[in-house]
Amino acid sequence: MLSLVDLRTRLASGSLSPEAAIRLAQEAIAAHEPAVGALASRLADPRVPGAGPLAGIAVGVKDIIDTADLPTGMGSAIYAGWRPRADAAIVMRLRDLGAVALAKTTTSPFAGLDPTATRNPRAPGRTPGGSSAGSAAAVAAGMLPLALGTQTGGSVIRPAAFCGVAAIKPSFRLLPMVGVKTVSWALDTLGLFGAGIRDVAHALALLADRPAIDLGRGSGLGPEAGSAPRIGLVAQDFAGAPEPAMAAALARAVRAAERAGARVRDCALPPPLPEAWAAHGTIQSYEARQALAWEYAAHRAALGPVLRGQLDAAQDLTAEAYDGARRHAHRARRVLKDVFGEIDAILTVSAPGPAPEGLASTGDPRFNRLWTLMGVPCVNVPVPGDGPPLGVQVVARFGDDGRALAVARLIERALARET
């Protein structure tokens, strides 16, 4: 995989030019894209800025995020060839930093659950997940050092786990959603994919203009800082049991964290957090019904069967049900603050198991929904193994993205020492 941090080191030393760094990505795309199908479109002759902290970094942009120089197709024939007049705010931020938005990455139609044709480069014959399928697959295949995705349920963390890459879904609204196709304004969150935790930490620090996020500086965690992180192990029993392979991966991550000096203890989530998990679907469906009202009214037959069925069912949702679900969420966020009074981070699974076989499903987001609804930062940490990729997620309190990344990096390094 292409590492953003490693590329930045070479660029800073002068051993690699920005133009040569972009060529590395282009050559990797030429070699791997025919087999993976992670890109919806790409620039043939990009202009490469010579300056900026991300100069020479090629970025994939999920195809629900507006770009002025590439189509934004939403993963749907309804928007085939559609060209926005302006870049989304996050794309403009990338450009201001010197990055090249080299390609649009495939997405499930309107960031839903209908699968794409993208293949999983790290698990042949299995789904890359969704809806940010192309972003996860492009990074996993080594075509791009950084890619943007979005998460409404589990569309960043789940495909990252399935493809064996690092990813962060930051705190809600840390990154701007202006110019991104809305599914749920209470849930939609931009996320980042990279080869490792250092890469997504470095990128998020720059994009959010928060230097302390980079490598968790200022978190006060880790043996070198004299403070061992307190980690709560959360089973999410209300979401069902993970598959044996995923349970084993979580156990490995716990042992690695403890060897690295962390203090890990079981942590049960009190009411109303389980009730909030159940309310996620009501909020998402009620808002999606409004966000996609034009597409549903004018092009219902062209929608994917899963999304069409969800919108059909959403027509019967009442404002009272929606308001009740939001109240559950508000109460749960207050309670979660108290949970984090006793621990620095939560450790839980990123998905039920490895990526499902075939391309008929993007996988189940049930272990991601609560954290998206809570608006808290989540980081996927790949767990090395002999089979298909697996991942665990580190969750921290709202606004404490640097702490989530610091704990994730501690676990990542400890797992690497095992191999």
Kindly list the catalytic residues. Answer: 62, 131, 155
| Residue 149 vs residues 53, 96, 130: alpha-carbon distances, Å | 21, 19, 10
CA distance 85 to 64: 14
Instruction: Pull the structure tokens for residue 277.
Output: 């998990």
- CA 119 to the chain's CA centroid: 17
Q: What angle do CA 344, 347, 349 make, to 5 degrees?
A: 160
CA distance 146 to 136: 9
Detail the DSSP E strand segments found in 261-371. Answer: 263-266, 345-349
Cis upstream peptide for 13 (omega within 30°): no
CA distance 196 to 416: 11
- Classify residue 238 as exposed, middle or buried by CB count within 10 Å of its CB (0-12, 13-18, 19+): middle
CA distance 281 to 268: 22
CA distance 352 to 277: 16
- CA 141 to the chain's CA centroid: 16
Question: For residue 404, which of 352, 353, 342, 340 has the smallest C-alpha distance?
Answer: 340
